[in-house]
Structure 1
Amino acid sequence: MKQCIDTSQISGLILAGGQGSRMAGQDKGWLELAGLPLIVRVRARLQPQVGELLISANRNLPRYAAFGRTVPDAAEFAGCGPLAGLEAGLSVCATDWLVVAPCDLPFLPDDLAARLLAPLLRGEAKLSAAGCAGRQHPACMALSVELLADLRAYLRAGGRKVREWQAGVGALEVGFHDAPEAFHNLNTPDELAAAVAYASQWRQS
């Protein structure tokens, strides 16, 4: 059962600031899946679940700006990976809660935010992350903006690992075992090709 949550109290962040090293350095947000860039597909999934939408990007900022407020990595944390993008998003987040997803998950559940936020709104933790079929998906998370100071301290101490930082702040795992297709990362050309095949089947069903 989906929960009714005031989306105006939630911000969304799409992580699109990576180097795309396994995609020959391409900006993954602009790779096309069945004729549409990944950023368009992920935005279409996440935007209805949140209020303001932020996009963590370090290239092609004017193009990304057409789909949300762009937030490049702070100079202090340049090269620090996904956590730098998270820091950038938290630093401008105007709501109490931030829901995060990477730009290479085009089949995100339409109740991602509601399910990730449920334990946080009950006061069980300040951060939750998705899990599915025995795998963790730490880049899909919801968290309180109160964690910004902790994240900055972790980065300044040399930390770079998303799961390590999440564990340190007491993250909970939220299961999405009913939606395994939602968490097919598109990190390589082969994975993108498989997603194209899946999207074709999905459109025909």
Structure 2
Amino acid sequence: MTPNELTGLILAGGQGRRMGGVDKGLVAFHGRPLVAHVRERLAGRVAEVLINANRSQAEYAVLGDRVIEDAEGGFQGPLMGIYSGLRAAATPWLVVVPCDTPALPEELVARLVAGLGDADIAVACDGERLHPVVALTRTALADDLAAALAGGERKIDRWYARHAWRRVDFSDCPAAFANLNTEDEKQRLEASLVSPDP
């Protein structure tokens, strides 16, 4: 699978409630917006980087190739963001990542592709738990997801379970999937990623 067959999607469409309602993807982390760190894991590995955002579109526009809003309003959660990305992508495959995981592995895309096999969806697993918003998904599933959303489905893992999916083992780097929901979590991760003085 080549980069031309892949679109990247950064989910930044939430309300950031646990961080005081701020637009989480734009929160500074080591001096740059969180979403900029995440974008680096996708850039050069996919044909296009989409950012799913429901506010601050002008700020996000300089950080991605295209900004897309949820196909339906009302902050309906990450499954709606994934659907919006599947619909907007011009490639057969979509790599989904959240905006608040700045320590994602450098080889994330390659490992998801390698772990897909003949399945339609590959989901990252840190050895203990799945990370359903870190996944590779066939974009042809957009219509199926539209039907699931119309039926009231909002749980990502339940939708994945309707399809052929694979767990991709990232147990060698479990800390890479730390996501930042509070200011305290952000400060702890920032401190842990500071390089020691030479």
TM-fit CA distance, 1:185: 0.8
Q: After the TM superposition, which segments of 4 or more aligned residues of structure 1 sit over 4 Å from their partners?
A: none
Count how many residue pairs are aligned between Structure 1 and Structure 2: 197
- Please show how residues 4-43 of structure 1 align to structure 2 within 5 Å: 5-43=1-39
Q: Does 1:87 align with 2:92?
A: no
Query: 2:125 aligns to what SS in structure 1?
Result: strand
Equivalent residue number for residue 189 of structure 1: 183
Equivalent residue number for residue 156 of structure 1: 150
Amino acid at match of 1:35: G
Please, which runs of 5 or more residues in structure 2 have no aligned partner? none
- CA distance in 1 between counterparts of 2:141 and 2:149 reads 12
Residues 168 and 29 of structure 1: CA distance in aligned 2, closer, same or farther (over 3 Å) = same
Q: Does 1:112 align with 2:108?
A: yes
8 A contact 1:49–1:111 mirrored in 2: no
Query: 2:14 aligns to what SS in structure 1?
Result: coil
8 A contact 2:15–2:75 mirrored in 1: no
- CA distance in 1 between counterparts of 2:171 and 2:40 reads 22
Per residue, is there more helix in 1 or in 2?
1
- TM-score normalised over the length of structure 1: 0.91
TM-fit CA distance, 1:118: 2.1
Match of 1:73 among 62, 70, 83: 70
- CA distance in 1 between counterparts of 2:38 and 2:95 reads 13
Match of 1:128 among 105, 108, 122: 122
- CA distance in 2 between counterparts of 1:117 and 1:126 reads 11
Equivalent residue number for residue 177 of structure 1: 171
Identity rate, percent: 44
Amino acid at match of 1:72: E
Please, which runs of 5 or more residues in structure 1 have no aligned partner? none
- TM-score normalised over the length of structure 2: 0.94
Query: 1:153 aligns to what SS in structure 2?
Result: helix
8 A contact 1:30–1:37 mirrored in 2: yes
- CA distance in 1 between counterparts of 2:7 and 2:169 reads 21
- CA distance in 2 between counterparts of 1:181 and 1:204 reads 22
- CA distance in 1 between counterparts of 2:197 and 2:54 reads 36
| 1:19-48 deviations in Å (ceiling 9; x for gaps) | 101000010001111111101111112212
